[in-house]
Structures are given as structure tokens and as C-alpha cells.
Amino acid sequence: MSTPWLRSLVALLLPLLLLSSPPLAGRLAADGGADDGAQVGNAGEAAREAYSEQIPGTGVSLRMVPIPPAEGKPGFWMSECEITWDAFDFFIFGIDGARDREGDSVDAYTRPSKPYIPPDRGFGHEGYPVISSSYRSAKQFCRWLSAKTGHTYRLPTVTEWRHAAAAGSPARYPFGDDPASLGEYAWFDGNADWTTHPVRQKKPNAWGLHDILGNAGEWCVEVTPEGKRKVVLCGGNFESPADEVTIDAIARPDESWQVTDPQVPKSRWWLSDAPFAGLRVLREYPAPSVPEGSETPDAGTPDERSSARGPGAASGPSPAAAGTTDSGALEAPEKEIR
């Protein structure tokens, strides 16, 4: 029976039989790029993977990398690099069609006023990090991005940001305590020549995040032990000395960041004297499914949950008290900080 025609028939049918096998078909579907970046492993648990999010109507993709959980806190995805003008321009100027995935207008997610001076300060535009952005502008970008993609994006908390920046390192820098290597990973006052630089030119940390230190500072939400929330910039920037471009470095906004703004009242969207204020976004892992009749898990951000806390974490109020929406996106503090 081992005739040539039979062997040919087997060769033709075998690939079809393998593809129809549920385990292999499932693995191939996952390898093809699942929308949420999850792949089912042998143990049945979701192994998070990096993914690229195509922003509808823009031609721009956002690369997201997985950040593993720590000390009982859930993991999340974080943008591989700082948000660049390539995506932000569509948000600012409304050239994205202003429609979300369901066809509804996303104009409810307020767009910034048009800048009265070039917001990139002449440093560079395509591939360069967003700068001069207020916290309000950064937050509204997250809302716009969420409406465009159908996934919830937000700004990280300080604790989340530090966990992602450290990438498991207990030192001041993701690569250790010696600042001599900082120039390989970050743009700061020792090598930046008083300008920002295109993203991804420096080495990433161990979890694949580029420019997590230096270049542009990144807006984060700080939850205090009293449950109050403040906004800060994390990671230092291109103007900062080496000892201020660390995992723990934060800068708090003040009036000096807007002193030369000629507008009355001053802009809530742009910081005339903060050419170092940028952003990076986070997307939480999808919540695990809950069996019927079980208690629903707390939907607050990790800093606002009462689970185990790592260094620098703080207890916080419930999601409702903290001003979170049902989508998990953080609302502004009671007094908007520009």
C-alpha cells in the first residue's frame, strides 16, 4: 500500500489535519497577534506579550510591552517609549476623523487649545517625545486614545512607574548604582545638548522600556498615605543632572513652569516654561473572569487597592472616592494641576 500516490495524498492531508487540531489551532491564533497581547500557555494561564496597537484613523501604531506583577499587585502593559508627536498631533488638531470604534463622536474627550508657539520648541517633531504638555493635556490624550482603540489607557501611578522603570533592579538606576553608564540609557544634561532627542536611540531597561529615564519627564499620579492625589513628573529629563535622572526622581509642577505664558488666564493645556513635560501611557491587564456569585475584584488602580504593598506604595481610598471612572481611568485631582 506504500504507493507513491498514497504518500502524496498523506503529504497533502497531514497539514490540514494538524491545523484542525484544537491545541495547535489555538497556539497559531495566539501567535498571530491576539488583540490583548495574551497567549495561553501550557498551564492555562495567560502569558502577557508585547503588542502593537494601531490607532484608527491615524496610521500610527503604539508599541506596548508587558510589565510583570510585583508583590501581589497586578501587571500591566506600558508604552515602549514616551508618546511622540506622531500620535499627539492627531489628538491636538483633530485630523483623526473624530470617531471612535463604534462610530460615535469622541469630541466629548476635550482636545487641547491650539498652541500659540511651536510646542516642540524646534527640537524636532517626527519621532520626538511630546513636550510642554500639561497634566490635563496628557490625561485627555489617554481618554482620546481609549475611545479610538476601545482599550482603556491611562497615566501610571508613581508606584507603577517606578516598578516598570526599575525592571527588577534594587538600585538607583535600572542598570545599577554607577551613573557612569547613564549615557547609554538616557538623555540628560551630560549628553543631551539642551534638547530632546528621538525616542529609542538609547538602550532599553531589562523589560524593554526605552527612555524611561531622561529625555522628557513623564506625568504620573502620586497617591499619598492620606489618600490625596497629586501629579508629578517622573524620571528626570534632558535638562536634569545625573543625580536627578533616577528611578526615584520626581518633579512637582509650580508657577515657574508657566511664567512666560502671555495668555490671561494662562493655558490649561500647555506649559510655556516646561519643555521637559511629556507622557507615557499604561494599559491594565484585563481583569480575570469571576465565577458567578463570587465577589467582584476591586477595580481601582494598584495604588488604591488594599492588597500587598511594595516599597513606596501607599494606601488609598476606594476607586469611587479617588475619582476613578468605571473604566479605571484616573480623573483629575480636586484642584486641576496644569
- Domain boundaries, given as residue ranges, for the chain: 55-288+314-338
User: pLDDT (tens digit, 0 to 9) for every residue of the chain, 338 residues total?
Assistant: 444 444 443 344 333 333 333 332 332 222 333 355 654 333 333 458 999 999 999 999 999 999 999 887 899 999 999 999 999 999 998 887 654 444 444 444 677 777 767 889 999 999 999 999 999 999 999 999 999 999 999 999 999 999 999 999 999 999 999 999 999 999 999 999 999 999 999 999 999 999 999 999 999 999 989 999 999 999 999 999 999 999 999 999 999 999 999 887 889 999 999 999 999 999 999 876 544 544 333 333 444 333 333 333 333 322 222 333 323 323 344 344 43
For residue 70, what pLDDT is reported? 86
As a whole-number percent, the residues of the chain with pLDDT over 70 amount to 67
Which pLDDT tens digit goes with each residue over 77-124?
999 999 999 999 999 988 876 544 444 444 446 777 777 678 899 999
Cα distances from 27 to residues 146, 173, 254, 294, in angstroms, run 28, 37, 51, 30
Query: Residue 146 burial by CB count (10 A; 0-12/13-18/19+): exposed, middle or buried?
Result: buried
Report the candidate in 70, 41, 72 with the shortest Cα–Cα distance to residue 160.
70
Report the candidate in 92, 105, 172 with the shortest Cα–Cα distance to residue 134.
92
For residue 265, what pLDDT is reported? 84
Cα–Cα dist 119/2, whole Å: 74
For residue 320, what pLDDT is reported? 27
For residue 287, what pLDDT is reported? 72
Query: Residue 173 burial by CB count (10 A; 0-12/13-18/19+): exposed, middle or buried?
Result: buried
Q: What share of the chain is helix, strand, coil (3-state, %, to 5)?
A: 25, 15, 60
Cβ contact 77:314 at 8 Å: no
Which of the four CATH numbers 3.30.390.50, 3.40.50.300, 3.40.50.720, 3.90.1580.10 does domain 55-288+314-338 have?
A: 3.90.1580.10
Query: Residue 138 burial by CB count (10 A; 0-12/13-18/19+): exposed, middle or buried?
Result: buried
For residue 48, what pLDDT is reported? 85
Helix count and strand count (H, E) for the chain: 6, 10
Cα–Cα dist 88/91, whole Å: 5
For residue 288, what pLDDT is reported? 64
Which contiguous run of DSSP H or E holds residue 77?
A: strand 76-79
Report the candidate in 203, 240, 201 with the shortest Cα–Cα distance to residue 218.
240
Report the candidate in 322, 331, 138 with the shortest Cα–Cα distance to residue 228.
322
As a whole-number percent, the residues of the chain with pLDDT over 90 amount to 57
Enter the C-alpha cell of residue 254.
509650580
For residue 109, what pLDDT is reported? 63
For residue 36, what pLDDT is reported? 53
For residue 322, what pLDDT is reported? 30
For residue 271, what pLDDT is reported? 94
For residue 262, what pLDDT is reported? 86
